[in-house]
């Protein structure tokens, strides 16, 4: 999933006071995300909307069954990225961000995302999520799957209040998520592994972020042209963020990425740099040795893992992956062309800059 991080109000630059209002200069940067909101009014609007989303998220996962409530709150209270509500909030800036439907639309997007995390952890046999025991390790796989289903149901319930178009869009987005997960599960099946991987990311990650940006424009009352531009941007920026995470897993130190470097490599997850390395026909000794190691599958041996990580960091495959990420970031920027110039558009452009620079 995408690792954009919304920094709580008290941790961002320029933040003051418990209300999370803009700092004294009226400027701020959303921490590690690299999102710049130079206009104090836009910053206050986005932060206020996200705070309301946080309150409504907690209320929306409540259940008459104490176990369901506890398990459903598990990931909500663990914090997380809130990248999808952020895209709703920014999309709404091109219309009326105070429109009544904007907050529930953001809640629908985050609930849908959280539901997928419960299911992902079961499929991945994960034991930790957001620094806490995963739901499946704490309550069993069956409970985690059913809680994910419950969150999908809650998202559908809220979207019903937003009207039939919201229900249709949420359902179609959910269908893309499922298609992406199936494609990832069964593998390329003879197709090009890189093209297959990019397709999976677009379905599993880009689709929900695209709908988030669309919902922001739609429920904020933006024009049809602006809504389509936002959705196109969301799809591409979502893919770009996931690809940049692939690179950070290899190229960064743990303090930057938030996890142990080479985690995907150790678990045998075929991310973009690995796929490029495996597809390479470079005949130099380093490239040949790297392909030999990667072909063995998950690198649980510490010595082999360290060797592969070192080779990947110096490989043409990593350089090619960086170029791919930068290409997606620039494509996302181009999708913003129909939007009016101003602080909201500049904020979205700053995400493109951040993605292009974070893996350089």
| 254 pLDDT tier (thresholds 50, 70, 90) | low
| 325 pLDDT tier (thresholds 50, 70, 90) | very high
DSSP 27-73: --B-GGG--B--SHHHHHHHHHHHHHHHHHHHHHT--SSHHHHHHHH
pLDDT attached to residue 337? 97
pLDDT attached to residue 334? 97
CB–CB of 324/272 below 8 Å?
Answer: yes
Q: Is the dihedral of CA 300, 303, 304, 308 positive or negative?
A: positive
Q: What are the pLDDT digits (tens) for 273-290?
A: 999 999 999 999 999 999
pLDDT attached to residue 228? 98
Q: Between 40 and 125, whose confidence is greater? A: 40
Q: Tell the CATH superfamily of the 39-222 domain.
A: Farnesyl Diphosphate Synthase (1.10.600.10)
Residue ranges of the chain that CATH labels 1.10.600.10 = 39-222
pLDDT attached to residue 21? 33
pLDDT attached to residue 259? 58
Instruction: Write down the pTM of the prediction.
Output: 0.86
Query: What's the rounded Cα separation, in Å, for the pair 263 and 141?
Result: 23
Q: What are the pLDDT digits (tens) for 191-229?
A: 899 999 999 999 999 999 999 999 999 999 999 999 999
At 292 the three-state DSSP class reads helix
| 126 pLDDT tier (thresholds 50, 70, 90) | low
């Amino acid at each position: 999933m995408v690792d954009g991080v919304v920094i709580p109000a008290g941790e961002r630059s320029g933040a003051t006071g418990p209300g999370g209002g803009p700092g004294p200069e009226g400027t701020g940067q959303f921490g590690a995300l690299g999102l710049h909101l130079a206009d104090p009014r836009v910053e206050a609007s986005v932060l206020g909307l996200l705070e309301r989303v946080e309150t409504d998220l907690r209320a929306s996962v409540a259940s008459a069954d104490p176990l369901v409530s506890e398990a459903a709150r598990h990931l909500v209270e663990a914090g997380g990225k809130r990248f999808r509500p952020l895209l709703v909030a920014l999309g709404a800036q091109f219309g009326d961000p105070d429109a009544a439907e904007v907050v529930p639309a953001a809640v629908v997007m985050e609930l849908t995302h959280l539901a997928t995390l419960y299911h992902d952890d079961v499929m991945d046999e994960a034991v930790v999520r957001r620094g806490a025991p995963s739901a499946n390790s704490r309550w069993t796989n069956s409970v985690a799957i059913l809680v994910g289903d419950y969150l999908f149901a809650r998202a559908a319930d809220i979207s019903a209040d937003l009207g039939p178009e919201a229900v249709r869009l949420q359902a179609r987005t959910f269908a893309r998520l499922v298609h992406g997960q199936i494609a990832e599960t069964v593998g390329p099946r003879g197709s090009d592994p890189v093209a297959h991987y990019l397709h999976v990311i677009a379905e599993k990650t880009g689709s929900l972020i695209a709908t988030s940006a669309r919902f922001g424009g739609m429920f904020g009352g933006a024009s049809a042209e602006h809504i389509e531009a936002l959705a196109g941007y969301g799809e591409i920026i979502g893919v770009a963020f996931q690809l940049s995470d692939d690179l950070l897993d290899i190229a960064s130190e743990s303090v930057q990425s938030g996890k142990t470097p080479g985690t995907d490599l150790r678990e045998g997850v075929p991310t973009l740099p690995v796929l490029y390395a495996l597809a390479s026909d470079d005949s130099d000794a380093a490239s040949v040795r790297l392909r030999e190691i990667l072909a063995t599958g998950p690198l649980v041996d510490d010595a082999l893992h360290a060797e592969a990580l070192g080779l990947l960091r110096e490989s043409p495959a990593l350089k090619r992956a960086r170029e791919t990420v930068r290409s997606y970031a620039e494509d996302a920027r181009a999708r913003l062309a129909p939007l009016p110039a101003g602080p909201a558009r500049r904020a979205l452009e700053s995400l493109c800059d951040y993605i292009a620079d974070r893996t350089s």
